[in-house]
Structure 1
Amino acid sequence: MKTLLANLRGGFAVIGMIAVTLIGFIPLLPASLVKLAAPWPWLRDPATRVVLWVARWWARGVNGVILAASQTHVIYDQQVPDNPDGRYVLISNHQCWADVMLLCHVVEPQLPFPRYFIKEPLRWLPVVGLACWALDFPFMKRHSRAEIEKDPSLRTRDMDTVRRSCEVFRDWPVSIVNYAEGTRSTAAKRAAANSPYRALLPPKAGGTAFTINAMHDVLDGVLDMTVAYVNTPEPTFWDLLCGRIERVMIRVRRLDIPGDLLEGDYMGDPEYRARFKRWLEDVWAEKDIEVAALQDPSQSATRFSQIESSG
């Protein structure tokens, strides 16, 4: 009976999210078409503002449904000043699909509405794909090693996408989100990647480095977001919707990035690439200790401040 009720709760949450999405599509479609068709900034810019307004209210509606259905407590530890008009690069670990919505929930409106690096296939999702395109999300193809060896020009194609997107973002308040692991961390993926971390996959530095390089002269900061599903080593979106995850800890803090990493040729300068990768791996090692401690049911820590004492 308990399992049935939990699944019903998750089903109602899915229905609610679909309803909010369909309602949001009504104003999204004409605004997106105007942005696509209009060659003039005086018309494109208002259309972009409408798309952003729809995205904010859609995210609030979907998160309202998720949290009402799941009764999950999201505890937000923000360690940066409120600045909704700023420009930020935000890097985060990635545990499950709930991360994306919870990030919107905890960041907005204190910080600019997030834009994500997302996989190319998501472009074709109904409604959501249109919204991602209208919000100028960078669509990443993530070519395999075999494909790159066959066509070396593919090596830089995603980085060219990042550059084009950053040219747009320079003119708008934005939190550019990069899930540096490239995919959701699971035990199977960590084993396949021979990950040195207990809870995380090794971070990929290229996207973060290119974004920081492209935006460094207008950035208000580089932010680090850590997401941990308390007492849940392998969280899933469905488990959260069903109310099986009682608490999520999320911290956003400013990173002190060395000045010599703000500008560099990640693809052409091996020394710069090695320095940037070491810096990001150090950030990830600290993050892994925190996430592993919070998600391990055998640990006593339930907040970031308890991790050291729980040892």
Structure 2
Amino acid sequence: MQLIRGAVATAVLVLNTALWGTLIFLMGLVKLLLPLALVSHALHGFYKCWCRGNYFALKLSGVQFSTEIAPHINAQGWYLLVANHISWLDIIVLTAIEALPTPKFFLKDELKYVPLIGSGAWALGMPFMKRASKAQIAKNPKLKGMDVARTQKSCKSFKHHPTTVINFAEGTRFTEHKQQRQNSPFKYLLKPKAGGTAFALQVLIEQLDGLINATLIYHGGNKNIFQSFMLGRLAVIDVKLDYVPLAKVPQGDYQLDKAYRVTFQQYLNAQWHSKDNLIDSLSTLQSSSNAIAKEVSQL
């Protein structure tokens, strides 16, 4: 039964993405010819349908989808969401949370040329980042600040639609091999990359209502979370969304201000230590619950 549920849920995810991805691509072509507000609203309507389809697929799999959302988070607001990254399933999980404003992502500039992904992201107004390196700025000082201005310009469309910009601060999915290679001080996490998060904050600061610190935890199955989902063996998904007022988040120019760079790195590391402790406590609690349930079933 578990295998059937997993297979059906996976098929729904694939079909859901194929259907709405194609419609968004086609509507994106219309947007090229008719860049009207009506077209943009239609695109976001399709995108929201994709998000609801993701939620439906999670429920079909039989997984217990548990979310704890801070009361300050408003579905009509604008937020930067910073999360740990465990699996490809993270994107499905975060887009399936209806209480969040429309989730969007910062994408690498190279992805704009990828069929469906690039065109779909462009059509939905997601920003493509092309940041100048320190070496490039040293050779050409005119580049200083251009990456921020360019990305701010691409984010203007966010003002027209409540948005949650999602940032996976670790930059890559967690594996034990990566953890060991980094010599990470965390039990369940990789080291957060402060630069990308600080850049996103700097670009969006004028549009944000606050920051969301998101913690994702998966219980059951094996270490390959997406494979566990496909096999119907994933038991519980815990998501905790904490609201952080912007006044409590250090702000500045990460690339040019060394003092701010240190301050923000310390801030993000402190958040990651708290996140690591939270994952540890919830994982221990879930293990205890599973052990009790097993004992009860044997009585």
Deviations 1:233-273 (A, max 9, x none): 734212122221100110111124545723x1111100011
Amino acid at match of 1:278: Q
Preserved contact between residue 123 and residue 139 of structure 1 (Cα < 8 Å): yes
Which residue in the other structure is 2:157 paired with? 168
The two structures have a TM-score, normalised by structure 2, of 0.82
Preserved contact between residue 93 and residue 227 of structure 1 (Cα < 8 Å): yes
SS, match of residue 185 in structure 1: coil
Out of 172, 178, 182, the residue aligned to residue 167 of structure 2 is 178
Report the alpha carbon displacement of residue 122 of structure 1 after superposing the two structures with TM: 4.9
Answering whether residue 206 of structure 2 is matched by residue 217 of structure 1, we say yes
SS, match of residue 227 in structure 1: strand
Report the alpha carbon displacement of residue 277 of structure 1 after superposing the two structures with TM: 1.1
CA–CA separation in structure 1 for the residues paired with 2:202 and 2:153: 13
Unmatched tracts of structure 2, length 5 or more: 291-299
Which residue in the other structure is 1:12 paired with? 8
Q: How many percent identity over aligned positions?
A: 30
Preserved contact between residue 117 and residue 179 of structure 1 (Cα < 8 Å): no
Out of 175, 190, 203, the residue aligned to residue 201 of structure 1 is 190
Preserved contact between residue 230 and residue 294 of structure 1 (Cα < 8 Å): no
Aligned length: 287
Which residue in the other structure is 1:93 paired with? 84
**CA-atom RMSD, angstroms?**
3.2
Preserved contact between residue 120 and residue 140 of structure 1 (Cα < 8 Å): yes
Which residue in the other structure is 1:292 paired with? 280
Out of 47, 59, 72, the residue aligned to residue 67 of structure 1 is 59
SS, match of residue 39 in structure 2: helix
CA–CA separation in structure 2 for the residues paired with 1:11 and 1:161: 43
Matches within 5 A, 1:22-101: 22-25=18-21, 27-38=23-34, 43-68=35-60, 70-81=61-72, 83-101=74-92
CA–CA separation in structure 1 for the residues paired with 2:190 and 2:144: 21
Preserved contact between residue 73 and residue 246 of structure 1 (Cα < 8 Å): yes
CA–CA separation in structure 2 for the residues paired with 1:120 and 1:163: 14
Report the alpha carbon displacement of residue 167 of structure 1 after superposing the two structures with TM: 3.3
With 285-294 and 229-238 compared, the bigger mean Cα shift is at 229-238
With 122-131 and 185-194 compared, the bigger mean Cα shift is at 122-131
CA–CA separation in structure 2 for the residues paired with 1:186 and 1:136: 31
Preserved contact between residue 229 and residue 294 of structure 1 (Cα < 8 Å): no
Unmatched tracts of structure 1, length 5 or more: 303-311
Amino acid at match of 1:137: M
Which residue in the other structure is 1:113 paired with? 102
Amino acid at match of 1:195: S
CA–CA separation in structure 2 for the residues paired with 1:247 and 1:105: 15
Which residue in the other structure is 2:258 paired with? 270
SS, match of residue 208 in structure 1: helix
